């Protein structure tokens, strides 16, 4: 039942615990540089996937970085792509359905999985995990390809978490991206979704 809706960002409920705030702030700056009409067009071209949950609450299933960037940029409304309507489900049945569809990922900054109770109520409560940013920027730099595998970015973030140090500041982050980019093509990353072997392998 995919359909575009406009909704207040303050009404969105996350289905993750973390985001990478470096990525969020880059998206925030992009949003702030756009004029009103250009921003509306951008949001329509990049709708946030969401579902109606028990009692009509809105739960976003992806694009948490964009949702948080909208909040940081003080953009009141976002554009959603509603994937399903579970309004009539009991809360427990709702979360069972969300887990079955791999639309909820309560994974903390150490890569540990928690229960649904650990999910933040609001996008402003999403916790910074710099390795989420690292995984996203390595993918964008060609370190691996985006796939349909659920929470692939979390898997890559966990892979880098124990192998790459992120020093403070933007220079430290960019140095970590260069290191992680090399590691992404190593044989030990072969089992991760979207793996790309090094040229010549």
pLDDT digits (tens, 9 = 90+) for 7-16: 999 999 999 9
CATH 3.90.1530.10 residue ranges of the chain are 3-128
Q: Compute and round to an integer the Cα radius of gyration of the chain.
A: 17
pLDDT band at 5 (very low <50, low <70, confident <90, very high): confident
The domain at 130-189 falls in which architecture?
Orthogonal Bundle (1.10)
CB-side neighbour CA atoms (13 Å) of 131: 19
**pLDDT reported for residue 147:** 85
Q: What is the tens place of the pLDDT at every residue in 49-88?
A: 999 998 889 999 999 999 999 999 999 999 999 999 999 9
CATH 1.10.8.10 residue ranges of the chain are 130-189
The answer to whether residues 66 and 30 touch, using CB atoms and an 8 Å cutoff, is no
Task: Taking the CA atoms of 157, 176, 69 and 145 in sequence, report the sign of the dihedral they define.
Answer: negative
Check whether 1 has a pLDDT greater than 70: no
**pLDDT reported for residue 35:** 93
**27 phi, psi to nearest 5 deg:** -70, -35
Question: Average of pLDDT values for 179-192?
Answer: 96
Higher pLDDT, 96 or 149: 96
| Three-state SS sequence of the chain | CCEEEEEEHHHEECCECEECHHHHHHHHHHHHHCCHHHHHHHHHHCCEEEEECHHHCEEECCCHHHHHHHHHCCCCEEEEEEEEECCCCCHHHHHHHHHHCCCCECECCCCCECCHHHCCCCHHHCEECHHHHHHHHHHHCCCECCCCCCCHHHHHHHHHHCCCCCCCHHHHHHHHHHHHHHHHCCHHHCCCCCECCCCCC
Whole-angstrom distance, CA of residue 198 vs CA of residue 114: 35
Check whether 200 has a pLDDT greater than 70: no
**pLDDT reported for residue 151:** 82
Label the pairing between strands 3-8 and 77-85.
Answer: antiparallel
Q: Considering the entire predicted model, what is its pTM? A: 0.90
Q: What is the mean pLDDT of the chain?
A: 93
Overall fold of domain 3-128? 3.90.1530
Check whether 2 has a pLDDT greater than 70: no
The answer to whether residues 132 and 27 touch, using CB atoms and an 8 Å cutoff, is no
Check whether 26 has a pLDDT greater than 90: yes
End-to-end CA distance of the chain: 43
Question: Average of pLDDT values for 121-125?
Answer: 97
């Amino acid at each position: 039942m995919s359909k575009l809706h406009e909704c207040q960002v303050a009404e969105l409920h996350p289905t993750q615990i973390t985001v990478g705030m470096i990525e969020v702030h880059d998206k925030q700056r992009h949003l702030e540089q756009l004029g009103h009409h250009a921003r509306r067009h951008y949001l329509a071209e990049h709708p946030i996937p969401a579902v109606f949950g028990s009692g009509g609450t809105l739960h976003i299933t992806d694009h948490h970085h964009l949702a948080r960037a909208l909040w940081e940029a003080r953009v009141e409304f976002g554009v959603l792509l509603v994937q399903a309507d579970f309004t009539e489900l009991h809360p427990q049945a709702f979360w069972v359905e969300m887990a079955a569809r791999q639309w909820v990922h309560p994974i903390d900054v150490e890569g540990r999985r928690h229960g649904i109770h650990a999910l933040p109520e609001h996008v402003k409560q999403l916790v910074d995990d710099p390795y989420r940013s690292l995984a996203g920027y390595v993918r964008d730099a060609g370190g691996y390809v985006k796939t349909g595998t659920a929470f692939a970015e979390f898997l890559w973030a966990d892979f880098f978490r124990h192998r790459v140090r992120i020093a403070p500041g933007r220079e430290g982050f960019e140095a970590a991206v260069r290191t992680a980019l090399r590691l992404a093509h190593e044989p030990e990353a072969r089992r991760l979704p979207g793996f790309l072997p090094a040229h010549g392998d």
